[in-house]
Amino acid sequence: MALLIVASMVLTACGTTPAVETVIVEIGGETVVVTATPETPFVPKVLNLNWGAEPPTADPALATDTTSVDLDGQLFMGLTNFNTEGEVIPWLATDWSVSADGLTWTFNMRSNIPWVQYNTATATVDLVYDADGNQRFVNAHDVEYATKRTIDPETGSNYAYVLYIIKNAQAVNEGEEGVTVDDIGVAAIDDFTVEFTIESPAGYFPAIAGMWIAAPVPGWVIDRPDVGVKWTEPGTIVTNGPYVMTEWIHGSELKLAKNPHWPDADTVDIDEIHGVIIVEDSTAFAMYENGELHTADVPQAEIDRVKADPVLSKEFTSVTRACTYFYGMTNNKPPMDDVRVRQAFSMTVDKQSLVDNVTKGGQIPAAFFAAPGIFGRPDDDLGIGLEFDPAAANALLDEYLAEKGITREDLDITLMHNTSEGHANIAAAIQQFWLDNLGVSVNVENQEWGVYLDTIRNVTPLDEMPHIWRLGWCADYPDENNWVYEVFNADAGANRLRRGCVDDVCTEVVLAEFDNITEQAKAEQDPAVRKELYTEAERLLSEVEAAYIPIYYYTFVNVTKLELTRDFSTVGHNHWYWWTLD
Amino acid sequence: MGRYIIRRVIGFIPVLFIVALFTFVLVRAIPGGPFDYAGDKALPPQVVANIEAKYHLDWPTHMQFLSYLLGDDIMGLVFGGVYAETAGDSRGLIRGDLGPSLRYRNQTINEIVAVSFPISIQLGILALIIGLAIGLPMGIIAALRQNTWIDYSATFIAVLGVSIPSMVIGPILIWLVAVMAGWLPAATWGTKPPFILGFLPSNLDWNFWSHAIMPSFALGTGMSGGISRLTRASLLQVVREDYIRTARAKGLRERVVIVTHALKNSLIPVITILGPMFAAVVTGTFIIEQIFGIPGMGKHFVTSIGNRDYPLIMGVTLIYTVLLVIANLFVDIAYAWLDPRIRYD
């Protein structure tokens, strides 16, 4: 006897009412429909987590921080997404292709992603219709609108510059005469095909096209004069991702619920996400220990206890992030203007000891800039980067001092970091390394974050610049271009290191081999060649120029209850729609 | 008394204006702007300029101040030109508009205050009640039993209360009561908007109290120490006054002497510190809010400076100023009631 049972569940968005289960039983060709009240009422699977901070915005065009990006990642689908390994995968786009000259990218999109709106009165997720009564699906025009909106200077998007690779984007964003938003290189070819024209070939473009700043947003809501900046509030916001926003009490809590109309909703295991907004790590950790959260960051002071605790140690994980902690050196400020001095300082930082005894979160000592998982990053076994070698370092420094006719006591070097206990501990350790291994005593100073970032720009007068200063860098998109080129290229990058500066404040720069190679690699289309170029660039910067000191790659230091199965996103947003809860 | 109050209230206006002006100028004097960076990244100057233009930060400072004070429509009427083009963005402080937040770009300062200030008021008032309920009796008993073991114990407890900061009491409470015993939730607040009358909790159930107990206690005990020491010292001084001797000489019972004559008068110094103390606790306490994850207004006093969120710094500073001057007015009115010798008209 052939027996086929098809069960379907109709869920309300917030899941407070019991599900109605309809069972269609097909027996020997006859179909019997049985609707039964389930024995147990539907209990939604609720994930309790901590946002860590009030998301500054839910507007994808304005988001820059991890909290807002995490939120937008659940609400809006980008053309592409990253898998757990940080590789680009299709998301809103099904596939894409690039023209022979590498300048035109065409993305074919899914046609079945509906726009939805959460109804706060009925607690349901509603489909959205236009004025003619047609259901709205996410289309190529939405992508075009969102991209142009981010670049439009009127929007005031902080991250607009990441889209400067798109044709005319920089000109429009910088308000150049003669170009308008209509000249930006993005166009809907038909309803579900979108085409980008870019300034120069860029193999990493699919990663950029999938970023939140280019994710489709509901233009017809945003442009309503009565809505304005309030379009991101629950009940008003129209979204298309796996989750919808159901409640946002600013500064206190933000809740999401599964979007039942999302075509892949079956694959989403967690029905509701209850996120509290707790800034203090140790408080969130106490809530975790009290069973109020499923996952939490581990405060540095608790790491030893967690590792020793029989229960917590099983819930503890430390996963590498695509972020690098480094010390920049002001390359045109004596004595840092001499490569031997920079190499000597770089070779006397005992990074292994630092991560074992100070940071303790399983961080990986960094030999060069790009963190694991970044495309184009040199292979670790090539041994790129300067090794810890006090003997060689002292020889280099002695040579420099002899040449200048000065002693170690004459060196007056300032190390600066932004005010924070963690950075202060690291600076104190490194200060000690230099004293022990190099015999040089450096002064450690700190400044409040906003003041600090103002200080370490490359337009600050040289005598106000510290010789050495800390910074971190995290991937916007997982490609070396976002690392060595955008940070260190003397011409196009931020060049805080003041490499190749003709005068004190870098009004003009002389390009070195590193700058040419990273420029070349940006436009190169062959991935294998690009990787070779970046490998060489990393070698030049960390060994030959020793322009900065890579310290370590960051880790997520986390505890997660055993019933939660999760991944860690090295780039982009957290994939809560892929997590499961038993 | 009525005329006195009116005079005082009119006097608030120049005070508020000067506070607004000073704050406005000072916050803009701090190096670094609100849009210079995203995380660890510095933003390109043109991107920063675009955003600053959106919030009129490219205007001369005095024009920004006038716009903040009067609103863009009046600016447009008076100055015309570029100031007329953006009319309608700001309604001005004079009409109660505290402006847009530069950090939370989809929220206004009025909205941020409307959700966070009520929670600080609730916590502040509970803490103040605890502070008074512990501090006053402890101070009185210590004074009446001067130099006995009761006095020494009360002094010891008060010194502990003053000297152990809330950043120590808070985590210890969380660890003992929440994590170890599991009696109370570790953090967050137990009520949420909408609030009754705009600031009172809408639910006074166990959910509210279970979240309120630990932070109110941590905040209140700190205050009780100061209140207790001051009450004791003041009462000791008053009981040596001539009119107390007179009261005793008249043959009044000791209870009447203390309660009716001594205590009322000795409260003057206590009331004096209660004014500023009230303004400080109901506008929120950064450390307690941080430790207990309470979404109050106290954190904005600190974080808005780091974020260079100029309108938010202005907003919370002005609210604090208003509360402080009002609290001090009430203190002055209370003097007249406590001490018949004080008259205002």
| pLDDT, tens digit (0-9, with 9 covering 90-100), for A32-82 | 565 555 567 889 999 999 999 999 999 999 998 889 999 999 999 999 999
Residues of A whose CB is below 8 A from B30: 450-451
Domain that holds residue A390: 319-556
The reply to whether A244 and A129 lie within a common domain is yes
Q: Point out the domain boundary residue: A253, A278, A303.
A: A278
Is A278's CB within 8 Å of B188's CB? yes
* B261: DSSP letter: I
Tell me the chain A residues in contact with residue B110 when contact means C-beta distances shorter than 8 Å.
none
User: Is A308 within 8 Å of A82 (Cβ atoms)?
Assistant: no
CB A413 within 8 A of CB A467: yes
Q: A459 and A324, same structural domain?
A: yes
Distance CA A323, CA A463 (A): 30
Cβ of A160 within 8 Å of Cβ of B104? The answer is no
At B31, the pLDDT band (50, 70, 90 cuts) reads confident
pLDDT in tens, A236-280: 999 999 999 999 999 999 999 999 999 999 999 999 999 999 999
What's the structural domain count of chain A?
Answer: 3
Q: Which of chain A's residues have a Cβ under 8 Å away from the Cβ of B104?
A: 54, 56-57, 250
Give me the residue from A66, A249, A283 closest to B291, CB to CB: A283
A14 and A127 housed in the same domain = no
Is A294 a domain residue?
no
- ipTM score above 0.90: no
Task: Answer whether residue A488 is part of any domain.
Answer: yes
CB within 8 Å: A253 and B192 = yes
Tell me what pLDDT residue A12 has. Answer: 36
Q: How would you list the strands of the sheet with A243-249, edge to edge?
A: A46-50, A272-276, A253-258, A243-249
What separation in angstroms does the CA of B259 have from each of A379, B140, B226, B253, B268? 83, 10, 21, 10, 14
Are A341 and A427 within one domain? Answer: yes
Assign residue A210 the CATH number of its domain: 3.90.76.10
Q: Do A276 and B47 touch (CB under 8 A)?
A: no
The reported pLDDT for the residue numbered A220 is 95
B72-79 and B61-70 helices cross at what angle (nearest 10)? 120
Please give the single-letter amino acid code of residue A370: A
Report whether A208 contacts A93 (CB < 8 A): no
| Interchain CB contacts (distance < 8 Å): A and B | 154
**Closest CB from B40, B171, B185 relative to A474:** B40
Q: Yes or no: say if A234 and A246 are a contact pair by the CB < 8 Å rule.
A: yes
Concatenated DSSP letters for B211-235?
Answer: HHHHHHHHHHHHHHHHHHHHHHHHH
Q: What is the pLDDT of residues A510-528, one digit of tens each?
A: 999 999 999 999 888 888 9
Co-location of A27 and A107 in the same domain = no
Least CB–CB distance from B46: residue in A174, A279, A451? A174
| Contact yes or no for A157 and B189 at CB 8 A | no
Measured between CA atoms, how close is A52 to chain B, in angstroms? 10
- Do A56 and B32 count as a contact with CB atoms less than 8 A apart? no
Domain end, chosen from A227, A249, A278, is at: A278
Does residue A9 sit in the same domain as residue A105?
no
Distance of CA A30 to the CA centre of its chain: 55
pLDDT, greater one: B343 or A496: A496
A476: closest CA of chain B, how far (Å) = 11
Instruction: Name the closest residue on chain A to residue B183, using Cα atoms.
Output: A290
Q: Which residue in B54, B187, B306 is closest to A449 by CB distance?
A: B306
Put simply, the answer to whether B32 touches A453 (Cβ < 8 Å) is yes
> Domain containing A473 — which CATH number?
3.10.105.10
More reliable by pLDDT, A36 or B117: B117
Query: For the ranges A14-28, A170-184, A265-279, A351-365, which has the lowest average pLDDT?
Result: A14-28
- pTM of the full predicted structure? 0.88
Q: Is B293's CB within 8 Å of A280's CB?
A: yes
A362: in domain? yes
Q: Is B305 exposed, middle or buried (0-12, 13-18, 19+ CB in 10 A)?
A: middle
Residue A228 C-alpha, separation from nearest chain B C-alpha, in angstroms:
9
Question: Which one of A57, A279, A284 has the shortest CB-CB distance to B104?
Answer: A57
